Amino acid sequence: MPFSALGLIPALAHAAAGLGFVAPTPIQAAAIPAVLAGRDVLATAQTGSGKTAAFCLPLLQGLLAGKVTPSQRLRALILVPTRELAAQVGEVLQHLARTLAQPVKVAIVFGGVSINPQMMALRGGADVVVATPGRLLDLLEHNALSLAAVEWLVLDEADRLLDLGFADELANVLAALPARRRNLFFSATFPPAVQALAQGLLNDPLRLAVDSEPTPDPVIVQRVIEVDASRRTQLLRHLILTGGWERVLVFVATQYAAEHVAAKLNRDDDLFATSFHGGLSQGARKQTLDEFKDSRWDVLVTTDLAARGIDIVQLPVVVNYDLPRSADDYVHRIGRTGRAGESGLAISFVSADTAAHFRLIEKRQHLSLPREQIAGFEPTQLEPSQVAAIAMSGTGGVKGKRPSKKDRLRAAAKAAGSA
């Protein structure tokens, strides 16, 4: 089915092809006609499914069909949670807008950089602004723009924008918007609490939940490897070198861990690793990400900053060095690979202290993944529940004492035999 069959004008259908879209993805086929028909939309679709084009294309067509104001007052606002996603969405909009006979000005604003160039860019007005909430509020305080004429509000990665971290900022933005407007909320996940809040903001929304198209084999192969926490870096190096992986995105829990793991991987000349996290300047983040996309780094060690809104073409491997805090974050992390129909590999390291947490992730994502052990990296640590069971049994040493290595191996063999 061509894009023109969805009701798009020829210029936008041609522009979609220029972005590499041969035919509409399921979320695009479902959302574009609904948005063109004037509906508010609450859409759930997997990462890499084409959500950005699903709202950018009908949004631009809607702007062309509306009245053009001489003052170029802001007519559409797109809110995103991160700087990287703001840049990515803005670039898609600018590419699409260049093909139109009627000019549509797109401004991209986010924090972490000087506000002055962004204020200068808004002096001539803008039709569409792509913004992170904090920087948008800064610009409103400086009277650099007004939201009084906004006709369209789009929340991309809406679950992140509606969670507690952005709740106050989003409330302030909503207070500055007109009550009558179109609302489009897109995300890969919508927890129940977020759905309830979104329901109060949207007007009779059309709910879309689009699964990825079924394939004979899974697009993302998920593996779970058991390893002691202290040996994760050694195992990671072993897997990268023996697997011949050329680009690997490694998720850790903190900025310190990102720096530390990258430094340990860099000790030898066989790997080139770097860190990527919110503590870096915007310029450094952009440069690092561009270099990784160009394969100048073998490994990018990152926090959850890179879990959403970053599109890395043909990224082969994602590794959860530290497990994510939530099941939803697990979905977003592994969604960095296996995008646009490409195959991908997602590996999670599970140690004795994190095994229970990973079982919770499996339960919430309706998964049941086999555990693996790599020769030479077999774990020796036991889960806290196993240690407690040994202590209480009276056969694994004196209660309250740490079991010996022999006790641990005996318990592990017993657990394996009963599995």
Q: What average pLDDT score do residues 85-104 get?
A: 88
Q: Which of 276, 307, 301 is nearest to 159 (CA)?
A: 307
Q: How far apart are CA 227 and CA 234, in angstroms?
A: 10
Do residue 159 and residue 133 come from a single domain? yes
Residue 215 above 50 pLDDT? no
Q: Which of 316, 299, 300, 320 is nearest to 223 (CA)?
A: 320
3-state SS, residue 331 = helix
Of 160, 190, 210, the last residue of a domain is 210
Tens digits of per-residue pLDDT, 319-358?
A: 999 999 988 889 889 988 887 667 889 999 999 999 999 9
Of 178, 210, 242, the last residue of a domain is 210
Is 41 among the domain residues? yes
Is 403 among the domain residues? no
Sign of the torsion angle spanned by Cα atoms 215, 221, 222, 226: positive
* % of residues, the chain, pLDDT over 70: 86
Do residue 206 and residue 170 come from a single domain? yes
Is 417 among the domain residues? no
Q: How far apart are CA 305 and CA 112, in angstroms?
A: 14
Is 395 among the domain residues? no
Q: Which of 313, 318, 360 is nearest to 335 (CA)?
A: 318
Do residue 29 and residue 155 come from a single domain? yes
Do residue 315 and residue 370 come from a single domain? yes
Residue 102's pLDDT is 84
Q: How far is CA 191 from CA 140, 153, 247, in A?
A: 30, 21, 32
Do residue 174 and residue 286 come from a single domain? no
Q: What average pLDDT score do residues 384-399 get?
A: 61
Q: What average pLDDT score do residues 371-399 get?
A: 75
This prediction has a pTM of 0.63
Residue 399 above 50 pLDDT? no
| Chain centre to alpha carbon of residue 207 | 21
Which residues partner with 131 through β-bridges?
79, 109
Residue 395 above 60 pLDDT? no
Is 373 among the domain residues? yes
Is 202 among the domain residues? yes
Which residues partner with 396 through β-bridges?
none
Do residue 224 and residue 333 come from a single domain? yes
Residue 266 above 80 pLDDT? yes
Is 406 among the domain residues? no
Q: What average pLDDT score do residues 193-220 get?
A: 71
The first and second tokens of residue 16, run together, are 């979609």
Tally of domains in the chain:
2
Do residue 265 and residue 351 come from a single domain? yes
Residue 341's pLDDT is 64
Residue 309's pLDDT band (boundaries 50, 70, 90)? Answer: low
Residue 393's pLDDT is 64
What phi and psi, each to the nearest 5 degrees, are found at residue 81?
-85, -20
Residue 381's pLDDT is 85
Q: What average pLDDT score do residues 383-412 get?
A: 62
Tens digits of per-residue pLDDT, 33-54?
A: 999 999 999 888 776 678 889 9
Q: Which domain holds residue 146?
A: 3-210
The enclosing domain of 86 has a CATH number of 3.40.50.300
Do residue 161 and residue 270 come from a single domain? no
Q: 378: which residues sit within 8 A by CB, 6+ positions away?
A: 226
Residue 193's pLDDT is 67
Of 192, 210, 228, the last residue of a domain is 210
Do residue 226 and residue 168 come from a single domain? no
Pairing of strands 248-251, 299-302: parallel
- Average pLDDT score over the chain: 85
Q: 209: which residues sit within 8 A by CB, 6+ positions away?
A: 43, 44, 45
Do residue 143 and residue 183 come from a single domain? yes
